[in-house]
């Protein structure tokens, strides 16, 4: 594992342990499809392939999360009135995916 991979995983772990639990929302992909959040998915990709070799998979995950957000914005789901309430940004990276998990 390269220094870049270790640094990326360290940053993701810091985010998950110290920041994510305080914000009160998760990424749209996890909210719509269940399963792992973007930060967990990116950490898995980095462990499996590394940052550089996995960059297309990471970019695809963020694109899928943006698509999930678009779906949630246009479809009233189990969250109540007209779709999800908006707070913050995606769980990992500079991806503009505002979403609040849960009720």
Residue 25 pLDDT level (bands cut at 50, 70, 90):
low
Residue 33 pLDDT level (bands cut at 50, 70, 90):
confident
Q: Between these two residues, 84 and 68, which has the higher pLDDT value? A: 68
pTM of the model: 0.72
Q: Between these two residues, 76 and 51, which has the higher pLDDT value? A: 51
Q: Please, is 90 exposed, middle or buried when counting C-beta atoms within 10 Å of its C-beta (0-12, 13-18, 19+)? A: buried
What is the token pair recorded at 69?
């957000």
Q: What's the helix, strand, coil split of the chain in %, to 5? A: 55, 0, 45
Residue 66 pLDDT level (bands cut at 50, 70, 90):
confident
Strand, helix or coil at 103? coil
Q: How far apart, in whole angstroms, are the C-alpha atoms of residue 100 and residue 10? A: 25
Q: How far apart, in whole angstroms, are the C-alpha atoms of residue 64 and residue 29? A: 7
What is the token pair recorded at 63?
């694109």
- Mean pLDDT value of segment 72-91: 52
Whether 71 shows a pLDDT value over 50: the answer reads yes
């Amino acid at each position: 594992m390269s220094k870049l991979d270790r640094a990326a995983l360290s940053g993701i772990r810091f985010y998950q342990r110290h920041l994510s639990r305080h914000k009160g929302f998760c990424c749209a992909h996890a909210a719509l499809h269940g399963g792992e959040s973007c930060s967990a998915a990116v950490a898995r990709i980095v462990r499996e392939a590394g940052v550089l070799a996995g960059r297309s998979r990471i970019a695809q995950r963020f694109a899928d999360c943006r698509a999930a957000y678009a779906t949630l914005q246009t479809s009233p789901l189990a969250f109540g009135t007209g779709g999800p309430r908006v707070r913050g940004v995606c769980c990992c990276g500079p991806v503009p995916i505002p979403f609040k998990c849960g009720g």
